[in-house]
Structure 1
């Protein structure tokens, strides 16, 4: 029985889906494999020269930053015992963007720390991993290894198309079941740690957060198709307010003869469509307002080069903003482990209640990615 632990990790999905290569070309480096037990390491490193002109603030900055994906190192474990394969993954995601503000205090966060049990029944994951709601929307983003829209802070990552087409499937404590592959059909469902969206007197979340994703892949006369639907639901209440947070994400990707077209979107209520956690809503939510967004992308691969055009929008009553983001990017594979990136990004954000433009930023990003 072959363990699928690395193959299903977020970083592995990104590498395989975006680079259009086989899993073997980007598999982790195997350090040990004897008697049914294996241990491997994978890594992802990147840096960009970034020149941004924010016309809303009348400011131009030049920086050296990491891209949408942080620098990462991951450790993978697998052991076959009878009819089961036990696995585990821990990945450390680190910023390089804090080198001036806090030169010896590089932030490290552990986005994946989980164990898996694989068998003929499928897989059960226990621990911390990316969520299911919005998962394929972001992992199949054509500019995932690029830069994208500006982030929320100078020391954090850029945002890619987060809040301009999809929400972030933030890593959460979870217990998730994944079905075996059923002729291209895959089903995942799990319970997650809920977010306290109603802090205050007698605040409670009496049930876990529920998330699920159903995906289907097929090849129809040479056209590779992947479609998906994912969703999330949770409730939180205090002495005066109850908030039901729910959302649905969806998408379709078609590829043929080097061309790829992707369309995805989401619709939600009762959350800010960036990520659902207590840091983004410290005072809680008072209502279950709407948000929705979509992302349209086209790419063409010619030899070692992949050309991408991307456009996304999000409209959020809860967050009181409208955004749109356009990216034009070129990815050049020097080899299977080394990539060069050139991207031009145009991001705008408007405050809905006032009509004031909060951001109007054009960004040139030139970078390199090394992975193993």
Structure 2
């Protein structure tokens, strides 16, 4: 019995020493031993022996103290070798480097009812479908799939990162002209992977950020990134043989910003203001032969604010590029600007957007931007959008149009004058990753003459983000 009591007291003393800071161990242990003696658990002999043991412990601690630097070095090495989960997203941290994975997958059942194919439904540059027979497809929406990899760290006080973005689709394509080429819905065909993003960044909070590589442009980017059809289908394009992307609201409210090689600088935020300016790979006029000696330039200014339940995002951007003609393709300069505002109060959201350009084209950058006589065509467009969210359900409505003027002295009655669309959408957040979407889109194309065409599109499906 005496041995059991003695062993229990010794264990209690050891546990207390391990759990107590060194500078407080001596007083705490002495108090514990005295209390055990007073309660009769320890005899005078046992108490004296344990006190003697306690007195010998500082020598042991002093002996082990010189090993502390080695233990610290080992701890640093273990930290470098360790792998930890990131605080957010899907990824990990090791050796001071963070690797994150992100992605998206979507698919929709789409039923499109095109206009009848007649002489007066021909519109050059029109986005409404013409064919007479309804079509059904299982396809991607405006977005293909997305798989992104981000690698970031801090070196010498600089935040540096690399991003790779791969965009695989679910639909089979011809691959003639790229991953988003014409659809080929037949056996043994395959989809494409669009490597849209490959860029590096470096910066500091007080300096701002420099981006070098291929990424989304500045002009027109906020228009598409805030469009409700980004998550869905919108105007379907060719639905009988779907590609890996639909049109959404491209060409019926804004010009597609595109993913472009660039060197861009973005300032730190000053209050709610932030500015970006970049030099871009010059783009060819679609359908023309030219050799451009000057790069393109784009810039954007944004302002964000929030007051209680009310918040807003405002932006303005500009673009300019000179096109050097060769032979029958004369020179011209394309310019444009856009402005927009997105306001949110509680569950309600309202967005307004407008763009204007000369020699800028429609649908895509520098598509139908000049006439055969070399003169520029002016263009403009807008869209209005409203959303309201209750719980997990969001309802959205939008209308937009893109207009293309004839060049001075041009006669072209079948050239598109206006592409427009109405969109009604319901979204339900099934989980934090998965959103269910149902949508109706009415698309109309009108030529400068009497020709016009319209189509109606129903879409239902889901999109996942992680």
TM-score tier (shorter)? 0.7 to 0.9
Residue number in structure 1 paired with 2:429: 333
Change (3 A) 1:128 1:284: farther
Structure 1 stretch displaced more, 325-334 or 94-103: 94-103
Residue number in structure 2 paired with 1:246: 335
Q: Let me know the Cα RMSD of the aligned residues.
A: 2.3
Residue number in structure 2 paired with 1:361: 455
Pair 1:97-2:97 in alignment: no
User: Superposition pairs for residues 293-372 of structure 1, below 5 Å?
Assistant: 293-317=381-405, 320-352=416-448, 354-357=449-452, 359-372=453-466
Residue number in structure 2 paired with 1:169: 257
TM-score by length of 2: 0.69
Question: In the aligned structure 1, how far is the partner of 2:254 from the partner of 2:187?
Answer: 31
Residue 277 of structure 1, CA deviation: 6.0
Residue number in structure 2 paired with 1:125: 211
Residue number in structure 2 paired with 1:264: 353
Question: In the aligned structure 2, how far is the partner of 1:101 from the partner of 1:173?
Answer: 34
Question: In the aligned structure 1, how far is the partner of 2:186 from the partner of 2:336?
Answer: 37
Higher Rg of the two aligned structures: 2
Structure 1 residue runs of 4 or more that deviate by more than 4 Å after TM superposition: 280-285
Higher helix share: 2
Residue number in structure 2 paired with 1:71: 145
Residue number in structure 2 paired with 1:234: 321
Residue 28 of structure 1, CA deviation: 3.6
Count of aligned residue pairs for this structure pair: 342
Structure 1 stretch displaced more, 125-134 or 32-41: 32-41
Q: Secondary structure at the match of 1:182?
A: coil
Q: How big is each residue's C-alpha offset from its partner over 1:315-336, in whole Å with a ceiling of 9 and x where there is no partner?
A: 1126633111001000100111
Change (3 A) 1:305 1:322: same
Residue 199 of structure 1, CA deviation: 4.3
User: Superposition pairs for residues 178-189 of structure 1, below 5 Å?
Assistant: 178-189=266-277
Instruction: Tell whether the 8 Å contact from 1:199 to 1:283 is kept in structure 2 after alignment.
Output: no
| Consecutive unaligned residues in structure 1, runs of 5 or more | 1-23
Residue number in structure 1 paired with 2:365: 276
Residue number in structure 2 paired with 1:6: none
Q: Secondary structure at the match of 1:144?
A: helix
TM-score by length of 1: 0.86
Residue number in structure 2 paired with 1:35: 95
Higher strand share: 1
Question: In the aligned structure 2, how far is the partner of 1:351 from the partner of 1:103?
Answer: 39
Residue 140 of structure 1, CA deviation: 1.0
Instruction: Tell whether the 8 Å contact from 1:199 to 1:284 is kept in structure 2 after alignment.
Output: no
User: Superposition pairs for residues 2-13 of structure 1, below 5 Å?
Assistant: none
Residue number in structure 2 paired with 1:214: 301
Q: How big is each residue's C-alpha offset from its partner over 1:133-190, in whole Å with a ceiling of 9 and x where there is no partner?
A: 0011111112310111122673241111100001111111100001111111110110
Residue number in structure 1 paired with 2:234: 148
| Consecutive unaligned residues in structure 2, runs of 5 or more | 1-85, 117-130, 173-183, 407-414
Q: How big is each residue's C-alpha offset from its partner over 1:16-75, in whole Å with a ceiling of 9 and x where there is no partner?
A: xxxxxxxx99x6411x21232111111100000011111243220111011111111111
Q: How big is each residue's C-alpha offset from its partner over 1:231-277, in whole Å with a ceiling of 9 and x where there is no partner?
A: 11000122562111111111011110200000001111113222226
Instruction: Tell whether the 8 Å contact from 2:417 to 2:447 is kept in structure 1 after alignment.
Output: yes
